[in-house]
Structure 1
Amino acid sequence: MVADVSYTGPDFDPPRQRRTRRAPLTVAFAALVPGALLGWLVYEAAGGGAGRTASPAPAPRSATVSGITPAASPGDDAKASGSPSARPGGAGPLRGKVVVVDPGHNPGNFHHTAEINRQVDIGTNRKECDTTGTSTDDGYTEARFTLDVAHRLRTLLEEQGATVRLTRDDDSPAWGPCVDERARIGNTARADAAISIHADGSAEGDRGFHVILPGSVHAGAADTRAIVGPSHDLGVRVAGTFLRETGEPPSNYVGDGTGFVTRTDLGGLNLSTVPKVFIECGNMRDSKDAALLTSGAWRQRAAQGISEGIVSFLRGS
């Protein structure tokens, strides 16, 4: 769930209207999508998925999605190692590159409603500093999910030589940071790429992932015009590799089956001066998606998919 949407907890997540049919994809847009995602989208555009809930593509490698055992135990979470701030990268193809990873929300936000409800400037208007995020019906929170995926992603990117900074970590303040500060962290680091990790909180039966791209904004403190193009490139690459590694389909309830949504109301994107996208990895309130999101094995694949998209973007390959 994106940080700029105001929710006070799982019981208050408003259902979204499901879409039962996909709009045809334009040739120009589809031509930009990597092979793995393109194959899915061509199938959907041809009517193969019309009128039904999307089901996941076959899982990669030897594991199958149905074979994953859901687990939300603390021992299944990836553990942070070393400093939570930027750590210098080692030898590898991404040496000299800086990536900022933004794990959405904070577990302490539930106890700091006054602080996170404070209005901040996002360029186009003012919105809440942050929100609580959502959770599965069993109580596995989005904030815990996003930090776990961020830890796994950091490890993978550091193995490629990148310097990685998280916007929050285990020893972060008790709440936040605010959405404007999350953007500022990426800007100050002069990140070559930034990604905000989330999971959605829609209705049962709403499934799949989607990548949120920044729209063109030039208002107040926001000016995304220089990053719209590279952010689109980053998002397309991440979507393709995420689908390939996880088998999670593009969302069947937003984005018309494309796996992409462009928004101009998110402070984390509006205020960014570096290429940045959000990824909603799945819907925590759908039982099938929740079984994946609570699996450490699947979260590792999610991190792998995101990592491969970022590596592809930074290497221009």
Structure 2
Amino acid sequence: MIEILSSGALNSVQDRGRRGLLSSGVSRSGAMDILALDAANALLGNDRDAAAIEVAAFPFRMRFDVATTVAVTGALAEAQLADRRLPPWWATEVHAGDDLTIAPPTAGARVYVAVGGGIDVPLLLGARATELKSGYGGHEGRGLKRGDRLPLGRRPPGGLPEGGIGAPPPPGRTEADGPLRVLPAAEWAEFSEEARERFVSVGWGVTAEADRQGCRLDGPELMRERRRELLSHGIVPGTVQVPPSGQPIVQLAEANTCGGYPKIATVIEADLWRLGQAMPGDALRFAVVGRDEALAALRETAQWLDGLRKAASLYRVS
């Protein structure tokens, strides 16, 4: 078991989310930065779908009742385990009674804390993710609070070397100031040439209207050449919609499964982690790419994770 000593309602149990249920009105939910979650589980030798804690309210503090392993990834934040400071994107052994404290990030918005064997909350609709918007899944369908005790799954065999192991920078992490890559969406051609050029040429400010459901951006108005009413249609995390105000809204992990605002673009899956780490006041830029580049970016990420999992397995000790 682990015990939550200090937390906020935005901190929750998350995994990779609920897949294949959008047509039934069930949003994906899951980690906002799936790449960081995947890396944490790979370092520990956990199953790919193991649940971890997404920390978005700081400071965060937890205590381990048993000896196990822990990995901390995601935003750059000072992490203190017992009497030592952990490097970024690091995994290490934990002793029973150790406390882990995570300070507010210096870069990024969300930290991921994975534990050997994962957080063993009940599966619901194929996942352990917390859907904060609707109040189900995870730990009692809500954010974590002081005094919560979370069960752990069976820890993978073997342990980590003394001092622990770390992950090299994931694809795109060192170029985090570059543009978010997008594919043109269904109503792309209905926006004027000027609006399309504006969309990719300016920096869009992340407003305070940002949560796990979506993020409203601030910038010049984007208007369609031909206005027409649209029926509600399917949307996914990464969909960029433009309401009548002309200010884009990017759908995130707990996005609605359908909506009627026109869609100008969709952020490619490999770049969604950037949105999960964006803070109010940050500036985002967009660049249009093709399907082949989007698929190549996914392959690059998959190859990096596969290499990390294989390398971590070599360091495991019996």
- TM-score normalised by the chain length of structure 1: 0.24
Higher helix fraction (1 or 2): 1
TM-score when scaled to structure 2? 0.24
Which structure dedicates a bigger proportion of its chain to strand?
2
